[in-house]
Amino acid sequence: MVIFDKPHALTDVPLHYCPGCTHGIVHRLVAEVIDELGIEGKTIGIAPVGCSVMAYDYFNFDMIEAAHGRAPAVATGVKRSDPENIVFTYQGDGDLASIGTAETVHSAARNENITVIFINNAIYGMTGGQMAPTSLPGQVTQTSPYGRDVNLCGYPVKVCEMLSQLDGPEYLARVAVNNVKNIKNAKKAIKKAFENQINGKGFSLIEVLSSCPTNWGLTPQKALQWIDEKMIPYYPLGVYKDRSAEKGDE
């Protein structure tokens, strides 16, 4: 009996992520969902610029590497080219909520029929731990060495809350991957986001509170706790928009 098997949608290439980084968990959840929905053969993923830039090597389906922040625009082109294909982006917080804010907001406003997996780890991982648009007030990073001073550099961007003000998007949810229960909920949300696309419902974004032990300067275990203690209070988990549920067609 097989107890633990690699999803088919993942390749055999070893992941390059740091020990305790939850990027790997989210990759796996996405791959499991794609397996379960039987859509690998028609899925096209868009990798960002950030720690997950090499996601194109890890997924078994067709992949595109986009410029920093532009994945939703690239996904728009791919989806418009063949609406039958299943198109998703996988983006970090610097990518999605700073340099790519316009692309994010407008693909949501257009209700582009794509799925967005948004990794919020409150930091720029790949470039070595600079302040992100989602870094918490007071958070120490390489470019906020005295802690994020909101008078100097403003407040974090709450992506789900912000996008929920738009009429466009179909589904917006924030999840976390720091314990078994949260991981189960994260998978459910990711699955719904892909099902929405299959059913032609439009733009779904899943914000995943994720860890970066390396740049937070914490052990993997402490990093998971930090999500509970610091991130979730500032970024409450839950569904921020579900248009189908609002309309009652479920």
Ligand X SMILES: Cc1ncc(C[n+]2csc(CCOP(=O)(O)OP(=O)(O)O)c2C)c(N)n1
Cβ closer to another protein: 78 or 136? 78
Q: Which does 148 bind (CB under 5 to 8 A by kind): ligand SF4, another protein, ligand X, none?
A: none
Verify binding: residue 124, ligand X, rule CB under 6 A: yes
With CB under 6 A as the rule, give the number of residues binding ligand X: 17
**Residue reference for tokens 């906020």:** 144
Nearest residue to 58 (alpha-carbon basis) of 21, 24, 16, 11: 11
Verify binding: residue 169, ligand X, rule CB under 6 A: no
Verify binding: residue 51, ligand SF4, rule CB under 6 A: yes
Spatial distance between the Cα atoms of 80 and 193, rounded to a whole number of angstroms:
18
Verify binding: residue 20, ligand X, rule CB under 6 A: no
Minimum Å distance from CB 175 to another protein?
27
Per CB under 6 A, the list member of 7, 87, 95, 214 interacting with ligand X is: 95
Name residue 131's amino acid: M
CB proximity list for 240: less than 8 A, separation 6 or greater: 160, 161, 163, 164, 172, 173, 174
Per CB under 8 A, the list member of 59, 124, 216, 240 interacting with another protein is: 59
Spatial distance between the Cα atoms of 159 and 217, rounded to a whole number of angstroms:
25
Q: Are the CB atoms for 137 and 131 separated by under 8 Å?
A: no
Q: Are the CB atoms for 20 and 220 separated by under 8 Å?
A: yes
Q: Which does 173 bind (CB under 5 to 8 A by kind): another protein, ligand SF4, ligand X, none?
A: none
Q: Strand 238-242 relative to strand 171-176: parallel, antiparallel, unpaired?
A: antiparallel
Name residue 63's amino acid: M
Verify binding: residue 76, another protein, rule CB under 8 A: yes
Chain residues 103-122 in contact with ligand SF4, contact rule CB under 6 A: 121
Name residue 151's amino acid: N
63: left (phi over 0), alpha (psi -120 to 50) or beta: beta
Helix (H) / strand (E) element for 171: namely strand 171-176
Binding mask 9-48 for ligand SF4 (x = CB under 6 A): --------xx--x-x-------------------------
Cβ closer to ligand X: 95 or 170? 95
Which residues are near ligand X by CB under 6 A? 49-52, 68, 92-95, 119, 121, 123-127, 132
Which residues are near another protein by CB under 8 A? 11, 40-44, 46, 53-54, 56-57, 59-67, 70, 73-82, 85, 102-103, 105-106
